[in-house]
Structure formats: structure tokens, C-alpha cells
Amino acid sequence: MSYSSPSPLSLNEDVLIQHIAVPERLTLPRPVYFRTCLLLKGVLINEHQHPFVEFLYAREGGMRVEIEGQALIVPGFYGIWIPANVPHRVLTTSNVLLESLYIGSDSVVLNHDNCRVVVVSNFVREFIHHATKNVPEQYDSQGDDGMLVAVLSAQIQKLPDAGFSLPWPSSPTLMRVCRDIQEHPDEEHSIERWASTIGMSVRTFSRRFKKETGVAFSEWKKRMRLLESVIMLKNNRSVTQVALDLGYSGTASFSFAFRQMFGVPPTRY
């Protein structure tokens, strides 16, 4: 195994990144396969893909998932749908207990062609944990275990969108800007500075950024900082420290923005 800090998936901390490969699995023993494992902080699961749908979920801890040029943050209480045959890699931002599901494409209906972050309810959270512990790999599809798995599969397909998925630009130039913001969320990242850096007028930069992402540059920065704040909070930084590290004037303004985006106060994390 090699130890280095990849880009753009990095922890912005003095932590060695441990690269691991996922054992190749081309078929599933049953329509739904439960995969559970404990990963330490700073583990990078190298890019891979599956010929089946994955519901990537951690019962404990948080992750960054890089997929299609985007780096998505998946904190606790959230899961991410990854369609079949889509390359992705995962970086753990804390110690992580994975309880993911591999699902045959014929056994799940996704109303989207790309990744989607969803809110995992307490009921589904405990349902997944029970199934992971008690349903055998070669479960009887027509028996009680098969019925339980079918109900669980139906429930996770109904989980609501998290509402804070962050759209990324498609052009390499603007992608570089966004990756720099993600890696250095504490810096100002003024639109004037970035427009000058990449040789555009502020107006052109603003118009192009919104065209590619659907949101204004200032809104994108705010969302990214708040997503990064979840990782900081999960790594035991105080609310005050996180607020100041991200450039907020105080905890009140940070807490207000956090609650607006996530629906809960930062102390929840």
C-alpha cells in the first residue's frame, strides 16, 4: 500500500492517506448484498465501479465521494445512490463503519442517472443495521429474509433528497476553482480574484459559473463551506472554532447558515 495525499480528495490535515483497492465483484449472490466493514480515518478506496447499483451509507463517520469529477460530502445520517457502472472513489474523513448495499439493477428503480445524496431516517438506519447483522449472504429470496430485504429495498428508494447536493461545473477551468475552494475553505475566494486568475471579467465569470452550476458563485462558496464544516465538527472541533476557521464573524451567523442548509444546529454534529 502507498501513502500519499491525493487531489482533490484530501483531509486538509496532517493525516496519511492509505490507498486500498476494492475486491472485484461482478455478480451478487442475491438481488441485495449487504457489505459492512470498518475503515479508519484517512483511507482512500481507489477508483472502481460496479455492474450494479450501490447505496453507499456509513452508520458511523463521514466520507467524501469523488464521482464524475465532483467531490461529494456524505456526513452521518446521509446516504448516496451510485448508479451501476459509474466510476467513483471514497475517502474517509473519520473512522467509518460502512453498512452499504449492493443492489441488482433489476431490483431497484432510480429516477435519476447520477449520484444523489439522501437523508437516512432513524427507522431505515436501524433497519439496515438489523439486516446487516441478521440476513445471510445466501438468504432465501422467497422466505422471511427475502420479504424483509424487499421491504428494506422499497424503504430506501423512498428516502428524501438531502436538498444540499452541490452542483459542480463541467469545464476544467471552473472545476479547478471549485476544487481550490474545497481544499481551502477558510480563504476569501473573491470573485474578483478568481476572474482575474483565469483571465475573465467578473461579469463573464459570474455568468459562466451560474450557467454551468445553476447557482451563483457566492452561493456555491457558502454551500461548500457549510459542507466542509460538517467534517470539521465530526472531527471534534468546536462550533466557535469552525465558525472562525471558515471566515464567519461569529457563531451566531454560522449557526444560522448551518441550520438553514441542514435543518439542525451545528451542535447536532
Residues in the chain: 269
CA distance 135 to 140: 9
**CATH (residue range 18-156):** 2.60.120.280
pLDDT for res 6: 36
User: pLDDT, tens digit, for every residue of 10-38?
Assistant: 555 555 567 677 667 788 889 999 989 89
- Cα four-point dihedral sign 115, 71, 28, 24: positive
**Cα-flanking dihedrals φ and ψ of residue 60, to 5°?**
-135, 145
Task: For the beta carbon of residue 136, count every other beta carbon within 10 angstroms.
Answer: 10
Mean pLDDT of the chain: 83
pTM for this entry: 0.68
Contacts 24+ apart (CB under 8 A), 13-21: 13/235, 15/41, 15/42, 16/42, 17/42, 17/43, 17/44, 17/91, 18/42, 18/43, 18/44, 19/44, 19/46, 20/44, 20/45, 20/46, 21/45, 21/46, 21/48
CA distance 265 to 257: 9
User: pLDDT, tens digit, for every residue of 215-237?
Assistant: 899 999 988 888 888 878 877 78
Alpha helices per DSSP H over the chain: 122-134, 144-156, 172-183, 191-197, 202-213, 217-234, 239-245, 251-262
Task: For the beta carbon of residue 243, count every other beta carbon within 10 angstroms.
Answer: 23
**CATH (residue range 172-268):** 1.10.10.60
**DSSP-based three-state secondary structure for 91:** strand
pLDDT for res 183: 79
Assigned C-alpha cell, 95 = 473512522
CA distance 189 to 206: 13
For the chain, the domains span: 18-156, 172-268
User: pLDDT, tens digit, for every residue of 77-126?
Assistant: 789 999 888 899 898 888 889 999 999 888 877 665 667 888 888 899 99
User: pLDDT, tens digit, for every residue of 168-225?
Assistant: 888 889 988 988 888 788 888 999 999 999 999 999 999 999 998 888 999 999 888 8
pLDDT for res 204: 95
